[in-house]
């Protein structure tokens, strides 16, 4: 952790649209040099979000929850209780101006934090996100990555499944990938509280920053 980056943990759930507006306002302020960078950890009520590559045909299967269009990359994803969301607002003008490097580092940070909590996760070639093996030995998605970079300031971030209701993912094709299941820490038999995961994120944060400065 560094003193010039704010680390904010939101108590309770926060509405997706409200959080999105706050994040975008903060990113604009960072761009203008009027605010500190931010890591914001939170949880949303159930919602489906559609990234810039999302298509309704064949991907939005059952809109049982509100659907929000958003400017992040990627396709449909689900947010809800039991999922840890991390919105990361960093100024890449002070670091490496490299989108691939940023996404790779973000994945590595989440993988390292899950490792701190006893879950072995990994990247999958050709598939953005965080993967692990489920109890049947299949590759399964435990975390999603979706980012936007505006004037080299980052928005959005990651979503990690700690203990969400996995049936809520069946209303969409998560991230446009139908052939692999979605899992969670709870489903793997390794329950992780949000406080525990937040601590793991904090413990692995400095290597993430270092990867952006190399």
* 175, 185, 187, 201: the active-site residue: 175
DSSP string, 113-138: HHHHTT---EEETTEEEEEEE-TTS-
CB atoms within 10 A of CB 120: 11
Instruction: List residues bridging with 76 in a β-sheet.
Output: 50
Longest dimension (CA), the chain: 50
Q: Indicate if 101 belongs to the active site.
A: no
Helix H or strand E encompassing 102: helix 99-116
Q: In 47-189, where does DSSP find H-type helix?
A: 99-116
Residue with tokens 């920053």: 209
Catalytic residue positions, numbered = 175
């Amino acid at each position: 952790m560094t003193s010039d980056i704010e680390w904010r943990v939101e108590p309770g759930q926060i509405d997706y649209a409200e959080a999105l507006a706050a994040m975008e306002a903060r990113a604009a302020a960072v761009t203008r040099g009027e605010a500190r960078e931010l890591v914001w950890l939170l949880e949303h009520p159930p919602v489906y979000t559609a990234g810039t590559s999302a298509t309704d045909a064949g991907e939005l299967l059952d809109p049982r929850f509100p659907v929000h269009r958003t400017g992040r990359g990627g396709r449909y994803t689900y947010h809800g209780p039991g999922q840890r969301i991390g919105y990361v607002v960093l100024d890449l003008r002070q670091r490496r101006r490299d989108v691939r490097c940023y996404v790779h580092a973000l994945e590595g940070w989440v993988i390292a934090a899950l490792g701190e909590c006893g879950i072995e996760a990994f990247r999958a070639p050709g598939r953005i996100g965080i993967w692990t093996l489920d109890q049947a030995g299949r590759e399964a998605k435990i975390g999603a990555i979706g980012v936007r970079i505006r004037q080299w300031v980052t928005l959005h971030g990651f979503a990690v499944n700690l203990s969400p209701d996995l049936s809520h993912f069946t209303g969409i094709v998560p991230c446009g990938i139908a052939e692999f299941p979605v899992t969670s820490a709870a489903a793997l038999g390794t329950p992780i509280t949000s406080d525990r995961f937040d601590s793991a994120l904090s413990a692995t944060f400095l290597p993430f920053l270092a990867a952006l400065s190399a």
